[in-house]
Structure 1
Amino acid sequence: MNPDWLTVVEGDAPLIVAFPHTGTDIPADIEPRMVSPWLARKDADWWVDRLYDFIGEMGVTTVRTGVSRSVIDVNRDPSGASLYPGMATTGLCPVETFDGEPLYRPGEEPDQAEIDRRRATWFDPYHDALTAQIERLRANGPVVLYDAHSIRSVVPRLFDGELPQFNIGDNGGVTCAPELSQAVEAACAVTGWTHVLNGRFKGGWTTRHYGRPAEGIHAIQMELADRGYMLDPDGEVSEANWPSPYEPARAETMRGHLRAILTACADFARKA
């Protein structure tokens, strides 16, 4: 049985959608050490699991952690190595937000023993579940792992200007067959919205760790600029304007595009 913070829904399609950053839970023994609950949740991939909630109808398997990425980021290299050397990013147990604000009160940052404990408690079980689902579906043929993310359209510390709407990552063509990336790019192109392959976001640890196309495991990351389904902050980001509410009417067009993208992923796996 999975712990209550980990949600796994099994489907029969050759496609898994992972939600590593939609969680907002902060354990009671950790929250008092942090500067504020709002800062601790600020960088969540807001409403992404709701945005994709149609995928149950498609027979897609999902794996989601409810724990905030500020507690432990299950999409970071557990060794602590940076995914983007020389660029601003956050670590396995982040100590600052995307905007560089400290997450912990002075002297309350997690030490190595605490990081190891968090890894054993949350990181390892999440990836054990993901591995189990990949193995289950891989027994019947090739499988696609789609890592679902979103981020504010403008985060000056992380990237210049406004992020494209669809940011596809396959780590420079390493984590999946080129035909999969091409199919996802084509599905994005017909939307009329901006997209890029291997731009600022080339795929996190999940994509890079699991993507083994020669073995029939094709991993791809999708980082959405969240303006497609919610309002970006107007001016400086603050507790008063972030997160903005999920907007069902605004999101409906995006949901249609995502359905087409995921259909392309599943169709690729069935033909591979």
Structure 2
Amino acid sequence: MTSEPSGLYPAPYRLVRPAFKAGPFLCASPHSGRYYPDDFKRASRLDEMLLRRSEDFHVDELFQLAPDFGAPLLMAHYPRAYVDLNRAENELDPLLIRDPLPQSSAMISERVAAGLGTLARVVAIGMPIYHKPLSLAEAKARIARIHTPYHQALDALLSAAHKHHGWSVLLDCHSMPSKPLRAGEGDQHGFDADIVLGDCHGTSCDPRLINRAEDILHDLGYRVARNDPYAGGYCTQHHGRPHEGRHALQIEINRGLYMDEIRLLKKPAFEVVAADMGRLLKGLFSLDLGHANTALGESGPPRHLAAE
């Protein structure tokens, strides 16, 4: 966890561009931010270690080789416990915001009901974050200062890639706990998969993308699942429009592979996993999705899970 004097807010994201001309791929890590503002920590009833339970611990570093292979790497600066960038800006929680919500926030999503809206009410383990509810003005200020600029950058990068290459790919990079935090995710013994690939049940990307990802990961020795229990969050759903040549794939890495989930420390295997993610990216970036593939798979409605 990093912090700075109260009132000093750093940029909402970090962007590392390739040293040469960028290709059609973009890697993003919306949940690995580690800057916890002092006023947020004062407003929270939780200590630093508990707040970090929602963090995608150093996922940005796992994909740090992306620019070497020609893909920009967009990384959140703030944690998801403060502002969740994998939510729509209007997924506000009436149990967290004390003022009446705008009509656009009237529909309560499954994620909001679980306390994991744009401004989370609980950390991933279900513990309430705040001493008291927030004002709508504070919620809007956070969204304007962090959520809006991040998504403007994401949109601009993907639009530039699409304009230049005729197609674009968002790889939305995340981590998942080794054991389920809620009912309905895996079983009591933990997840069967090392990595879960989410394409919103065949609707957010050309099947060649997820097929290639699965093949590469299998060859590297990883157990891979598709869409279960993570099919794709807001970023994947919003940017995945394969009929327009805009593809999005969510990648969830089991934290037990690379970190001590209790002490929040990297394992020696961290460097191995990071190197393997580099191999994954190198293999994916050889794909050419510029020609349409009509076999877009089954297009059932995407399942929205609170943890994504």
**TM-score, normalised with respect to structure 1:** 0.87
2:195–2:251 CA contact under 8 A, matched in 1: yes
Secondary structure, counterpart of 1:150 in structure 2: strand
1:88–1:157 CA contact under 8 A, matched in 2: no
1:148–1:223 CA contact under 8 A, matched in 2: yes
With over 3 angstroms needed to count, the CA separation of the structure-2 counterparts of 1:82 and 1:165, relative to structure 1, is farther
Overall identity of the aligned pairs, in %: 26
Distance apart, 1:75 and its partner CA:
0.3
Count of residues in Structure 1 that have an aligned counterpart in Structure 2: 258
Alignment correspondent of 2:128: 102
Deviations 1:214-264 (A, max 9, x none): 11111000011012212343xxxxxxx2x1x223x4123323331232123
- Tell me if 1:130 matches 2:159: no
**Structure 2 unaligned runs (5+)?**
1-9, 92-106, 292-308
1:82–1:89 CA contact under 8 A, matched in 2: no
With over 3 angstroms needed to count, the CA separation of the structure-2 counterparts of 1:89 and 1:188, relative to structure 1, is farther
Distance apart, 1:87 and its partner CA:
8.3
Of 173, 185, 201, 2:202 maps to 173
- For residue 29 of structure 2, what is the amino acid of its counterpart? F
Distance apart, 1:150 and its partner CA:
0.6
- Tell me if 1:198 matches 2:227: yes
Alignment correspondent of 2:96: none
Could you tell me how far apart the structure 2 residues matched to 1:87 and 1:166 are? 26
Cα RMSD after superposing both structures: 2.1
- Tell me if 1:214 matches 2:214: no
Of 9, 22, 36, 2:16 maps to 9
- Tell me if 1:47 matches 2:76: no
Distance apart, 1:271 and its partner CA:
5.4
Secondary structure, counterpart of 2:28 in structure 1: strand
1:65-104 matched pairs, under 5 angstroms: 65-80=76-91, 84=110, 88=114, 90-104=116-130
**TM-score, normalised with respect to structure 2:** 0.77
With over 3 angstroms needed to count, the CA separation of the structure-2 counterparts of 1:68 and 1:198, relative to structure 1, is same
Q: Which moved more, 1:212-221 or 1:252-261?
A: 252-261
2:162–2:168 CA contact under 8 A, matched in 1: yes
Distance apart, 1:31 and its partner CA:
1.9
2:57–2:175 CA contact under 8 A, matched in 1: yes
Distance apart, 1:266 and its partner CA:
1.6
Distance apart, 1:61 and its partner CA:
0.5
1:9–1:63 CA contact under 8 A, matched in 2: yes
